[in-house]
Amino acid sequence: MRLSRYFLPVLKETPSEAQIVSHRYMLRAGMIKQSSAGIYSWLPLGFKVLRKLENIVHEEQVRAGHVPMLMPTLQSADLWRESGRYDGYGAEMLRMKDRHERDMLFSPTAEEMFTDVFRSHVKSYKDLPLTLYQIQWKFRDEVRPRFGVMRGREFFMKDGYNFDLTKEDALHAYNRHLVSYLRTYERMGLQAIPMRADSGPIGGDYTHEFLVLAETGESEVFYDSEITDLKFGDRAIDYDSVEECQAVLEEFTSRYARTDETHDEAAFTDVPEERRRTARGIEVGQIFYFGTQYSEAMGATVQTPDGANVPVHMGSHGIGVSRLLGAIIEASHDDKGIIWPEGVTPFHVGIVNLKQGDEEADAACEALEKSFEALGLEPLYDDRKERAGGKFATMDLIGLPWRITVGPRGLKNGVVELTSRRTGESEELSPEEAVKKVAEIYANHRVSGL
């Protein structure tokens, strides 16, 4: 992609309404534009990252054996009355009537819709276990939307729902989701700590939130510092193995880690004093097991081997996909701009031409561009007739992990400059060596389509 042909409306000044780093940089980097309070247009750069995050979530859900589908954003109020949640959900639910005066709502979550699909088509225990999920836009009418995509009213979310014959089967689904979420967040360059949480309006006795530590987090969190040393890494997991998934859950949840809503000061004092930590956290996902709460209310039953009809055991599992952009930026930035982890960067490498119009420099940049594209990598070539300082500032602001600088002086010596956005370190390499090094870096970070 040539920057002269791309739509990247960067801002030099920070808009006054932006209170936290991620909101400031997403506006300044031309990723989003506010449409109304808590609702944003996703501009090309922001949309590109959003799709990369969506693909990672899809890949890890499918890897875990979960089945994707898509539900409507508008739902009938009748389903919510059936479950008993319509009147109790509160003012966050956007209610409306259609032209026939039927009560409708803009989906804040989709337990009822998925339960209705399940009960309409699944009648036997032989069709279990089953986990269905979607990645879809949701709406919650926050009283004070703020912090950009971190607390907006409209948001892009993965929500999944498991249907199982027994509580033991459903708890295995819970553990399976925890494993898949750990893999998902690490691929995005995040450490998201599973913490004991409150179930809120969804209900249920088993629930963990996944929180990314950041100074601007909305939740106060308390944890044993040992948990920050845990990494899931590249280990192979058999998602059908109850023992393997249970072992991962125990490894990542046996140490103290709770949000302020469930914090137990007495239990916290059992943690050695030197390992007790208090911080702020950003919620990026949550998993629930809530038993037969919805299946009993809505008649979602299956026939058992002995012919009895029993309500299925259920859980729901969410990841805030759009919210993740803000969380990643909060966790990975400096005073110049964003620093994207390699797994989610909108473009893999930036190419800066220091002397646009110079025949040799132009040819070298075009050759680099073609070399990366041939390897399946996406370069962003800054071919604008701008000052070098302005080009560097743009690249730093949008946060591509690697930058190749091309100029007549270096080319005379047969080299270009490869710079790491994270460390600021540069090295001179031949163009071929620079391409090879960037390709090797991304070999373990490729994001493919579903």
Mean pLDDT of 163-191: 96
Residue 205's pLDDT band (cuts 50, 70, 90): low
Neighbours of 251 (CB within 10 A): 13
DSSP 383-436: -SS--HHHHHHHHHHHT-SEEEEE-HHHHHTT-EEEEETTT--EEEE-HHHHHH
Q: What is the dihedral of CA 388, 394, 399, 403, to 10 degrees?
A: -20
| CA distances for 307 relative to 48, 125, 355, 397, angstroms | 51, 10, 78, 63
Residue 81 CB: number of other CB atoms within 10 A? 13
Structure tokens that stand for 131 in this block = 């986990």
Picking from 156, 144, 139, 192, the residue whose alpha carbon sits closest to that of residue 327 is 192
Q: Pick the closest to residue 206 from 245, 157, 168, 248 (CA basis).
A: 168
User: 269-278: long-range contacts (C-beta < 8 A, 24 or more apart)?
Assistant: 271/224, 274/225, 275/224, 275/225, 275/226, 276/222, 276/224, 276/225, 277/222, 277/223, 277/224, 277/225, 278/220, 278/221, 278/222
Give 298-322 pLDDT, tens digit per residue. 899 999 999 999 999 999 999 999 9
Q: State how far the Cα of 95 lies from the Cα of 238, in Å rounded to an integer.
A: 43
The tokens of 33 are what?
Answer: 């534009």
pLDDT digits (tens, 9 = 90+) for 226-254: 999 999 988 999 999 999 999 999 999 99
Amino acid sitting at position 109? T
Integer Cα distance of 127 and 121 in angstroms: 10
pTM of the model as a whole:
0.93
Looking at residue 342, its pLDDT comes to 95
Rounded CA separation 318/61 (Å): 11
Classified as helix, coil or strand, 105 is strand
For residue 79, give the H/E element and its range.
helix 77-83
Helix (H) or strand (E) holding 74: strand 74-76
**Amino acid type, 390:** G
Q: How confident is the model at residue 218 (pLDDT cuts 50, 70, 90)?
A: confident
Lowest mean pLDDT among 38-52, 134-148, 205-219: 205-219
Asked if the model's pLDDT at residue 117 lies above 60, the reply is: yes
pLDDT tens, position by position, 268-294: 999 999 999 999 999 999 999 989 988
At residue 450 the predicted structure's pLDDT band, cuts being 50, 70 and 90, is: very low
CATH topology of domain 349-442: Rossmann fold (3.40.50)
Give the end-to-end CA distance of the chain in Å, rounded to a whole number.
23
What average pLDDT score do residues 63-77 get? Answer: 96
Please state, rounded to an integer, the average pLDDT across all residues of the chain.
93
Confidence (pLDDT) at 146: 82
**CA dihedral for 10, 13, 16, 21, sign (positive or negative):** positive
Element (DSSP H or E) covering residue 47: helix 44-63
Model confidence at 444: pLDDT above 90: no
Q: What is the pLDDT of residue 203?
A: 46
Please tell me which of 77-91, 208-222, 316-330 the model is most confident about, judged by mean pLDDT: 316-330
Q: How many CB atoms lie within 10 A of CB 187?
A: 20
> How far apart, in whole angstroms, are the C-alpha atoms of residue 317 and residue 65?
14
Average pLDDT score over residue span 404-425: 96
Q: What is the mean pLDDT of residues 4-16?
A: 91
CA atoms within 13 A on the CB side of 407: 10
Q: Give me the sign of the Cα torsion angle 225, 226, 229, 231.
A: negative
For helices 44-63 and 167-187, the axis angle rounded to 10 degrees is 140
CA distances from 72 to 105, 107, 134, 137 (A): 11, 8, 10, 9
pLDDT band at 446 (very low <50, low <70, confident <90, very high): low
Mean pLDDT, residues 206-221 taken together: 89
Q: Is-cis flag, bond preceding 108, omega within 30?
A: no
CATH superfamily of 3-338: Bira Bifunctional Protein; Domain 2 (3.30.930.10)
Tokens of 389: 């300082």
pLDDT at 202 over 50: no
Every domain range in the chain assigned CATH 3.30.930.10? 3-338
Return the pLDDT at 328: 96
Are the C-beta atoms of 366 and 372 separated by less than 8 Å?
no
Report pLDDT for 12.
87
- Percent of the chain with pLDDT strictly greater than 70: 97
Would you say 142 and 152 are in contact if contact means Cβ atoms under 8 Å apart? Answer: yes
Nearest to 146 by CA among 31, 303, 39: 39
| Mean local confidence (pLDDT), 147-170 | 94
pLDDT at 429 over 90: yes
- pLDDT of 219 reads 86
Q: CATH 3.40.50.800 spans which residues of the chain?
A: 349-442
Pairing of strands 337-338, 333-334: antiparallel
**Identity of residue 99:** R
Residues of the chain with pLDDT > 90, as a percent, come to 84
Give the CB-side neighbour count of residue 329, counting CA atoms within 13 A: 32
Report residue 372 CA to chain centroid gap.
Answer: 26
pLDDT in tens, 131-146: 999 999 999 998 888 8
Closest CA to 373 of 30, 2, 9: 2
> Residue 199's pLDDT band (boundaries 50, 70, 90)?
low
